[in-house]
Chain A
Amino acid sequence: MLRKNDSPGKLIVVEGIDGSGKSTQIDLLYKWLQSQGHSVYFSEWNSSTLVKSTTKRAKKRKLFTPTTFSLLQCTDFADRWENQILPLLKAGVIVLADRYAFTAFGRDVARGVDRQWVRNLYSFAMQPDIALYFRVPLEIAVTRITSARASLKYYEAGMDLNLSESRIESFELFQERILNEYDRMVDEFNLTVIDGTFTVQAQQRLVREIAKQELEGWVGLPIPEGSPHILLQSEIQ
């Protein structure tokens, strides 16, 4: 269990395996919320500049174990949490996150770390007001990813787990484990399941309805007249 959001802001996150279409959906939601006059901030998984060089180095040299992978990604998340997400929530901003703690609960456990251990790791984070889980069958996600990309990266394909010599096969087996973890989390963390096989527009209609319901009667941080709507990362740091 994650603690309740006791800030004036709203936290909306999207989750799902690679190729589930979640990034497309959150991007559309982001633009729509802005056009509705809200102060919105977007945070992406694994994007802390403080941790970046270490992650890059460790990936390049293949230094990660499941535990250090988990810890370094949580370090990345903590940096964004302490310096961006939490301060902006306190200010009354809508924070959108493409991937959240649930990604770690899925991937890290698929890599073999203890379920309770990784949940404790992220216990400083808050339960999102909306957590959307884009569920797609494995075959669809795999087709989407492999057709859009020339090759899969080592850790992305879960090659560190030695599941298979083939990157595609390893990717499939790894994603399957993650899918199982997500399914366990639906009840545990009250994830809202969206069928990722629907058309982009149909999914977006659902997403906006859910957001609209959550934001009804809510007043966030106002936008000063004449200022651009976009909160840039560089303005916050």
Chain B
Amino acid sequence: MSDFQFYGAGFPYRTIEELPGKLIVLEGSDGVGRSTQTQLLRRWLEDEGFAVSDTGLRRSEMTQQGLEEAKKGHTLSRITMSLFYATDFADRLENQIIPALQAGFVVLSDRYFYSIMARDIVRGADPAWARQLYGFALKPDLVLYLKAEVSDLVTRLIHGRGLNYWEAGMDLRPSDNLFDSFLDYQARLIEQFDQLSQEYGFVSIDAGRPVMHVFEELQDQIRELLEDQQPIFEEDFH
């Protein structure tokens, strides 16, 4: 990302000269297979000789513990939750992602602020407020949006780690049971993702197919990005 950009003011107090690495984001619903794909991609990229750093939501040293605790209680209100997650995201961006990019790593981010924003908006956040809030965020080189039907998600989750309270949006009580709530909530999230996809230019990938098919398509996209960014090497040989 030689000519990196922020969505808004970025970090005005920080001088960033160069970010030779690449920021690749995997977005998509809960249970769509993001973490499986992240693992596969990491292994593949490392085989190809790239230094890879992966990161996800709620993994910041600063907020992880506090956020977990807050989510157990009943007083975490909407704006407070948005801001708590934004703090976590900013901490990871400044202290993990940007340093890794400065060091020339390929950063694979399992979700980015788009996921947080989609959840916030479904919970009633003002979309304009949320967009300005993430004005500090760096524009990724590539956003791969794993898109699947709610029915695919259900199948995977029930045969996998199960349905959970937050992924079913139970704090919003869309329905009296976890299953119907999940369907309702995830459908609303997908609607938001689709809008964000248009606005922020995600590359949409059909995630309803077998894992290896999805993986191959992701590889194609990433190969294109990494080739495109390394013209210097080829010229050296001419």
Given contacts A54-B62, A123-B129, contact A113 B13 (CB under 8 A): yes
- The docked-state distance in angstroms from the alpha carbon of A113 to that of B8 is 12
* Beta-carbon contact of A121 and B133 below 8 Å: yes
Interface pick from B26-34, B84-92, B213-221, B227-235: B84-92
Contacts of B84 in A (CB 8 A): 51, 75
Q: Is B160 an interface residue when CB atoms closer than 8 A count as contact? A: no
- Judge if B102 is at the interface, Cβ distance under 8 Å: no
Which of B11, B63, B66, B126 has a CB less than 8 Å from the CB of A65? B11
| Interface residue from A65, A79, A124 paired with B94 (Cβ < 8 Å) | A65
Smallest CB-CB separation from A124: which chain B residue? B79
Contact: B9 with A120, CB < 8 Å?
Answer: no
Contacts of A63 in B (CB 8 A): 61-62, 91, 95
Question: If the complex has contacts A65-B11, A68-B94, A117-B9, are A53 and B69 also in contact, measured as CB distance less than 8 A?
Answer: yes
Structural contact, B83 and A74, CB atoms closer than 8 A: yes
A90 within 8 A of partner (CB): no
Say whether B12 faces chain A, with CB atoms less than 8 Å apart. Answer: yes
Complexed CA–CA distance, A228 and B173 (Å): 37
Contacts of A212 in B (CB 8 A): none
B77 within 8 A of A: yes
Given contacts A54-B63, A75-B87, contact A82 B79 (CB under 8 A): yes
Contact of A53 with B75 at beta-carbon distance under 8 Å, contacts A117-B135, A117-B136 already known: no
Task: Contacts A51-B66, A117-B135, A120-B133 given; indicate if A111 touches B13 (C-beta within 8 A).
Answer: yes
Contact B87 A71 (CB under 8 A): yes
- Contacts of A67 on B, CB cut-off 8 Å? 11, 90, 94, 136
A residues within 8 A CB of B135?
A: 114, 117, 120
Task: Check A57 for interface membership: any CB of B closer than 8 A.
Answer: yes
Contact status A116-B65, CB under 8 Å: no
Nearest to A115 among chain B residues (CB) is B9
CA of A140 to CA of B88, assembled, Å: 38
A residues adjacent to B (C-beta < 8 A): 50-51, 53-54, 57-58, 61, 63-68, 71-72, 74-75, 78-79, 81-83, 111-114, 116-117, 120-121, 123-124, 237
B interface with A by C-beta (< 8 Å): 8-9, 11-14, 61-63, 65-67, 69-70, 73, 75-80, 82-84, 86-87, 90-91, 94-95, 126, 129, 132-133, 135-136
Supply 8 A–B pairs (Cβ within 8 Å), ascending by A.
A54-B63, A54-B67, A54-B87, A58-B62, A78-B80, A79-B77, A111-B13, A117-B132
